């Protein structure tokens, strides 16, 4: 969908505000009563940053992130960190295909939005692989 040209900065800001409200309305159909968290995660996303969601189980953290990615039509992946998780499980690996050529099989880290769940349960080398990729992200 192409963005219509705006005749003034005021018109462009009004359109942005309306789009933001439409986005919040769509998210609000699934996530109820967490307006501040939704606002903060959207600010982080739009400023090309990362978010750290901390809370007890059952606060809909995964649902929030998956809903935002669905509303924005972004690719979403969730990585459940376990003690036996290896760096290639999240970054991907080279595999030998049927034609006997190596091809890269991307891991979940190559999604638009990645939820790293329970990262504290994985070995330090796997945490380092994830953090290295986050630091190199555009």
Q: CA-to-CA distance for 30 and 11, rounded, in angstroms?
A: 30
Nearest by Cα to 95 from 107, 80, 109: 107
For 24-43, write each residue's pLDDT tens digit.
999 999 998 888 999 999 88
Kindly report the length of the chain: 138
Q: What is the pTM of this model?
A: 0.73
Confidence of residue 4 (pLDDT cuts 50, 70, 90): low
For 47-94, write each residue's pLDDT tens digit.
888 888 888 888 888 999 999 999 999 999 998 888 888 888 888 899
> Does an H or E element contain 117, and which?
strand 113-117
pLDDT for 89: 84
For 99-135, write each residue's pLDDT tens digit.
999 999 998 888 989 888 888 888 887 777 777 766 6
Q: CA-to-CA distance for 98 and 65, rounded, in angstroms?
A: 36
């Amino acid at each position: 969908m192409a963005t219509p040209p705006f005749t003034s900065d005021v018109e462009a800001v009004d359109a942005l505000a309306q789009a933001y409200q439409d986005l919040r309305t769509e998210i609000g159909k699934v996530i109820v009563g967490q307006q501040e968290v939704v606002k903060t995660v959207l600010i982080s996303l739009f400023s090309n940053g990362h978010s750290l969601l901390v809370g007890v189980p059952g606060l809909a953290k995964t649902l929030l992130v998956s809903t935002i990615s669905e509303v924005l039509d972004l690719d979403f992946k969730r990585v459940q960190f376990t003690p036996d998780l290896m760096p290639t499980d999240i970054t991907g690996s080279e595999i030998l295909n049927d034609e006997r050529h190596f091809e890269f099989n991307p891991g979940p880290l190559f999604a638009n939005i990645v939820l790293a769940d329970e990262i504290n349960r994985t070995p330090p080398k796997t945490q380092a692989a994830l953090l290295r990729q986050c630091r190199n992200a555009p």
